[in-house]
């Protein structure tokens, strides 16, 4: 069974806890991770790209010159794709990139990502992050004590913590997310994952 040390905000080990094999002891599946990341990024796309076709571009209703006896090639519109200022052929049009992954596949990818982070020593569990008021300086100090300064860090809390969020939002590369909202992409895109003890319990409850 995988184990992890629980530390306080001064980086002192408080205790060791055993983690569920089903969530943190999975074999790393690169194919699943890739599939989940591609799905996440595709679903973030707005799909508002749009180019003008011959039916939407302004002008070009009049035939530029008569069909025959001019010595020039025949043309029906100055907005033909062949002309400068003309329409675009097969250009991108607004579309929805959203698609769903099978639920089992999505869950397995997340468990694989958590297992990979634990295996690579990129996951730290902290007893608690209690801030009386939003203070970026205090959050920077905590990360420095944990040896995480200068790294991109994903801080995972059990529930929305306004003080933690406001304290971390101005630190480059540091993001805060609820345990219920974690996803494969956010776990992989950050160098390190910092879990509170309550967030760890929430993950075990939701994904275990």
Q: Model-level pTM?
A: 0.84
Q: How far apart are CA 99 and CA 107, in angstroms?
A: 16
| CATH numbers and ranges of domains, the chain | 3-29+101-207 (3.40.1370.10), 46-96 (no CATH)
Q: What is the mean pLDDT of residues 168-189?
A: 95
H/E run at residue 196: strand 192-196
pLDDT of residue 91: 94
Tell me the angle at which helices 103-119 and 197-207 cross, rounded to the nearest 10 degrees. 140
Say if residue 208's pLDDT is above 80.
Answer: no
pLDDT of residue 155: 96
For the chain, give the mean pLDDT. 93
pLDDT of residue 11: 86
Q: What is the mean pLDDT of residues 164-173?
A: 94
pLDDT of residue 3: 86
pLDDT of residue 10: 87
Give the list of residues 6+ apart from residue 201 with CB closer than 8 angstroms, or none: 158
SS3 annotation, 21-36: HHHHCCCCCHHHHHHH
């Amino acid at each position: 069974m995988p184990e992890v040390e629980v530390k306080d905000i001064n980086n002192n080990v408080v205790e060791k806890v055993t983690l569920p094999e089903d969530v943190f002891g999975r074999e790393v599946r690169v194919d699943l991770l890739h599939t989940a990341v591609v799905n996440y990024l595709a679903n973030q796309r707005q799909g508002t790209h749009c180019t003008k076709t011959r039916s939407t571009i302004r002008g070009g209703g009049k035939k530029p010159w008569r069909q025959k006896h001019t010595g020039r090639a025949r043309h029906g519109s100055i907005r033909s794709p062949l002309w400068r200022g003309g329409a675009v052929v097969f250009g991108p049009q607004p579309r929805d990139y959203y698609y769903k992954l099978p639920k089992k596949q999505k869950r397995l990818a997340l468990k694989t990502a958590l297992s990979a982070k634990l295996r690579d020593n990129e996951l730290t569990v902290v007893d608690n992050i209690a801030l009386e008021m939003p203070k970026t300086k205090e959050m920077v100090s905590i990360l420095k004590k944990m040896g995480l300064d200068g790294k991109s860090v994903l801080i995972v809390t059990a529930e929305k913590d306004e003080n933690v969020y406001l304290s971390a939002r101005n630190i480059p590369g540091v993001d805060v997310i609820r345990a219920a909202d974690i996803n494969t992409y956010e776990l992989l895109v950050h160098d390190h994952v910092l879990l509170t003890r309550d967030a760890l319990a929430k993950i075990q409850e939701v994904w275990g």
